[in-house]
Amino acid sequence: MTKSALQIARAAYQPKLPKALLGAVKVKEGEPTQSVADQEAIKQLFPNTYGMPLIQFEEGGVATEFPAINVGVILSGGQAPGGHNVISGLFDGIKKLNKDSKLFGFILGPGGLVDHNYIELTSDIIDEYRNTGGFDIIGSGRTKLEKVEQFEKGLEIIRELGIKALVIIGGDDSNTNACVLAEYYAAKNYGVQVIGCPKTIDGDLKNEMIETSFGFDTACKTYSEVIGNIERDCNSARKYWHFIKLMGRSASHIALECALQTQPNVCIVSEEVEAKDMSLDDVVTYIAQVVADRAAAGNNFGTVLIPEGLIEFIPAMKRLIAELNDFLAHNGEEFNAIERNKQREYIINHLSAENAAIYASLPEGVARQLSLDRDPHGNVQVSLIETEKLLSEMVATKLAAWKKEGKYVGKFAPQHHFFGYEGRCAAPSNFDADYCYSLGYTASVLIANGKTGYMSSVRNTTAPAAEWIAGGVPITMMMNMERRHGEMKPVIQKALVKLDGAPFKKFAANRETWAKETAYVYPGPIQYFGPSEVCDEPTKTLQLEQAK
């Protein structure tokens, strides 16, 4: 395989580990835990894995001989930079326990476990993938592990390969699956441990014990580099308004982080739109006003950041989507059997009056996207909705009306971008390379200590890596009950942008200035070699959230 010069140099990078993990580890157990909400319901559903204590690893343990152990690993859901380092950290961790330990990777996500599709990950393979982006070492998939038949089918190959523990690297949905699987295997006394690792570029799998999900750092830095380049182009040509949609299915963490890094003229934060009960027209009016004010100052250019999940946060749209989700969950077959050109009418005829009216008012393309197949977890595939075009078209219409009324004088020429897939497989930043390696290594220590139903946790991440705190959090602690596919289900609570949190407050305090002035910041590409302040800086979000 031909490799780039950077790939070759990067292969030699030795990720940093928290110092507690360097030698023999002492295990400190905390108080019993509770789920974040719906305690009674979660306790009933997870009688074997509910209430377990928090775990912290400390220096000064006693070195003991550990028998060789076979471990399975699964990459689940969307790619996120650093996944290969979670696997290499896990590999090095189990090899350190005993050099004869083995790691098996299931191919193309949780489906690989059910279909018995796997490879043994030997040191030759692992070495090829250290510090690289992507999930291609074993591939990823979105199969939802939720049925007893799947758990039992998985057990067959687990037994055949002598696997004692399974590590599931995924986002909130996949870690919910990990928890359900851990509970099932514990209830059946099968002696198979299940450990989760927090992955997602979306940054919405976080809480007190999980400071950030891996991949968020690298993805945001990659997008911010390109946004900065666009801003500089925009400030050079001074003739375009750039509408940039950013990935992040639900929460606006990516858009907000990129705004903090690049200081655009507008950044919409979905959580604020919802909290202020804004309509689509309110959002459009806000953007159009910024455009008009800049035009009045002679600036017919600018940048607008739009979070991918916006549509679902506009309260009226949210009500529409909720009804559509329930309706399609129960009538999907009938709907799919209807001729394509009659589907819109069919939906309008079956929705409540309020939602039917909103659905009917949407441009054809957007309405169609809302009624397309959900992903296996029941989510609308928001990455397919062209919100950036929808908004710029509506802004253009509003500006044309204002022009007639004499309220706007200027030129409005939009350009559209969607950044998502460009960042998901970027070569991990030093932060993600170190963080992921530490998460994988921590998983091996949780396994060695017989834990199941835990997620690897590495905290204190704005300090140098040596001072990071490694341990485990019971996954049930992060759960609540939510409506999915028309039914109440236990799921890990998504962390949305907090409007009283430091990152949003910093943005809100500056956005008026950024709207009027051209105060762009150009972060440039991720640096892997050089001074620590250039190469190791965590995200602005993490720095602001963790500021003491």
Would you name the residues annotated as active-site residues?
202
**Interaction of residue 200 with ligand FBP, rule CB under 6 A:** yes
Tell me the closest approach of the beta carbon of residue 77 to ligand FBP, in angstroms.
3
In degrees, to the nearest 5, what angle opens at C-alpha 246 toward C-alphas 240 and 251?
140
Within 503-542, the residues that bind ligand FBP by CB under 6 A are: none
Tell me the closest approach of the beta carbon of residue 342 to ligand FBP, in angstroms.
28
**Interaction of residue 202 with ligand FBP, rule CB under 6 A:** yes
The one segment of 12-20, 75-83, 89-97, 444-452 that binds ligand FBP by CB under 6 A: 75-83
Question: Crossing angle of helices 502-516/280-296, nearest 10°?
Answer: 40
With H, G, I as helix, E, B as strand and everything else as coil, classify residue 491: strand
Nearer to ligand FBP, 80 or 155 (CB): 80
- From 248, 428, 471, 472, residue interacting with ligand FBP (rule: CB under 6 A): 248
Tell me the closest approach of the beta carbon of residue 80 to ligand FBP, in angstroms.
6
Nearer to ligand FBP, 274 or 312 (CB): 312
Within 405-444, the residues that bind ligand FBP by CB under 6 A are: 424
Binding string to ligand FBP for residues 293 to 322, with x set by CB under 6 A, is what?
Answer: ---------------x--------------
- From 15, 18, 51, 78, residue interacting with ligand FBP (rule: CB under 6 A): 78
CB distance 213 to 185 below 8 Å: no
In degrees, to the nearest 5, what angle opens at C-alpha 328 toward C-alphas 323 and 334?
140
Nearer to ligand FBP, 77 or 538 (CB): 77
**Residue recorded with tokens 């993938």:** 129
How many residues touch ligand FBP under the rule CB under 6 A: the total is 14
Nearer to ligand FBP, 88 or 250 (CB): 250
**Interaction of residue 141 with ligand FBP, rule CB under 6 A:** no
**Interaction of residue 249 with ligand FBP, rule CB under 6 A:** yes
Query: What's the distance, CA 531 to chain centroid?
Result: 29
CB distance 169 to 75 below 8 Å: yes
Burial degree of 253 (CB within 10 A; 0-12, 13-18, 19+)? buried
Nearer to ligand FBP, 79 or 101 (CB): 79
The one segment of 1-9, 143-151, 241-249, 532-540 that binds ligand FBP by CB under 6 A: 241-249
CA distance 473 to 210: 8
Phi-psi label, residue 431: left if phi above 0, alpha if psi -120 to 50, beta otherwise: alpha
CA distance 260 to 245: 16
Token pair belonging to 416: 């559209």
The one segment of 160-168, 195-203, 406-414, 520-528 that binds ligand FBP by CB under 6 A: 195-203
Nearer to ligand FBP, 312 or 434 (CB): 312
Tell me the closest approach of the beta carbon of residue 317 to ligand FBP, in angstroms.
16
CB neighbour burial string for 510-541, b if at least 16 within 10 angstroms, e if fewer: ebeebbeebebeebeebebeeeeeeebbbbbb
Query: What's the distance, CA 532 to chain centroid?
Result: 26
Tell me the closest approach of the beta carbon of residue 216 to ligand FBP, in angstroms.
10
**Interaction of residue 171 with ligand FBP, rule CB under 6 A:** yes
Q: Which residues contact 116 (CB under 8 A, 6 or more apart)?
A: 153, 156, 157, 160
Instruction: Provide the binding-site residues for ligand FBP, judged by CB under 6 A.
Output: 77-78, 80, 171, 200-202, 247-249, 308, 382-383, 424
